[in-house]
Amino acid sequence: MEIVYDEKICVKCLACVSESESGGVTYEDERIKFDKTCPEDWRNIAEICPVGAIAIKDSDEVI
């Protein structure tokens, strides 16, 4: 599983940070940080983003 995050379109609304329950998404130094080792509902976090800045790719998927 890969988290693809496009910082250029992110509006820093922090919805993904709020949706994160296990510290997988944090806001540090004015940047969104992802820790994919955390047991989050990653697809739900990607869906909550209003601008589609987060995409979840299965590792066996051709990007």
Query: For residues 10 and 62, which CB has a smaller minimum distance to ligand SF4 in the complex?
Result: 10
Q: How far is the CB of 42 from ligand SF4 (least distance, A)?
A: 12
The residues that touch ligand SF4, with contacts defined as CB under 6 A, are 10-16, 32, 48-51, 53-54
In order, the DSSP letters of 10-59 are -----HHHHH-SSSSEEEETTEEEE-TTS---HHHHHHH-TT--EEEE-T
As measured in angstroms, the least distance from the Cβ of 11 to ligand SF4 is: 5
- CB-CB contact of 15 with 44 (8 Å): no
Residue nearer to ligand SF4 on the CB measure, 39 or 50:
50
